[in-house]
Amino acid sequence: MKDSLIAHINKFVSLDEAEADKVCASVNLTTLKKKQLILEPGEICRANYFVSKGCIRLYFINRNGQEQITQFGIENWWITDYWSWETSQPSNYYIQAIEDSELISINKKTYEELLLQLPKVERYFRIILQKTHAATMRRLEYFRDQTDEERYHHFITLFPGFVQRIPQYMLASYLGFTPQFLSKIRGKKE
């Protein structure tokens, strides 16, 4: 399982064997069953999770009592509540497995030590965070500039395989509309 993390890191920076061993010694393996939670509101998020296998979601319950998904994590993606992880304040989010999943986790203290010891790993995480931030900004643009239908078609074009893996109500939540509206969009000829 750790091989997938090292392979992902090596897409952005080249670790030598000693550096790869150091990374592997710094992380933990976690296996989750479908629907299992690893974070609930009120808890402090203690780790950042690399999805080696499976699918995870980050969500909160909105003021209307409905789930609002803000992020998915699939193979080779990182997922955490960055605010809680960074500030050690209680989270407002849930992190839950959508499928049986295998995660590689790193806690905050070990992460900080690793960044100081291995500048290549610090560069890797900087690149990942920049990409995450850019994707978040792009998503906000889509919410601002695209209709619901355009947003749906854009998403399924970018991630066709992913759409098949998640329940439609979760896709609707992530895209910001109701499952009924999603059914209506899908009922039209594409």
Which residues have CB under 8 Å from 58's CB, separation 6+? 69, 70, 71, 72, 73, 79, 80, 81, 93, 94, 95
pLDDT value of position 183: 84
- In which band, very low, low, confident or very high, does the pLDDT at 189 lie, cut at 50, 70 and 90? low
Any idea what the CATH number is for the domain that residue 34 is in? 2.60.120.10
Q: 76 phi and psi, to 5 degrees?
A: 70, 20
Sign of CA dihedral 151, 157, 158, 164: positive
Which helix (H) or strand (E) segment holds residue 28: the answer is strand 28-32
Share of the chain above pLDDT 90, in %: 73
| Radius of gyration for the chain, computed over Cα atoms and rounded to the nearest angstrom | 18
Decide: helix, strand or coil at residue 47: strand
Q: Does the structure show a pLDDT above 80 at 43? A: yes
Residue 96 domain-assigned?
yes
Residue 102 domain-assigned?
yes
Q: What is the pLDDT of residues 103-124, one digit of tens each?
A: 999 999 999 999 999 999 999 9
State pTM to two decimals: 0.90
Residue 48's alpha-carbon distances to 34, 81, 85, 112, in angstroms, are 19, 8, 8, 12
Computed over every residue of the chain, the mean pLDDT equals 93
Q: What is the pLDDT of residues 9-31, one digit of tens each?
A: 999 999 999 999 999 999 999 99
Residue 34 domain-assigned?
yes
Residue 170 domain-assigned?
no
CA pair distance 161, 181, nearest whole angstrom:
21
Residue 66 domain-assigned?
yes
Domain count, the chain: 1
Give mean pLDDT, residues 42-57. 97
Sign of CA dihedral 61, 89, 128, 76: negative
Q: Which domain holds residue 38?
A: 2-117
CA pair distance 58, 78, nearest whole angstrom:
11
Q: What is the pLDDT of residues 147-187, one digit of tens each?
A: 888 888 888 888 888 888 899 899 999 998 888 888 888 77
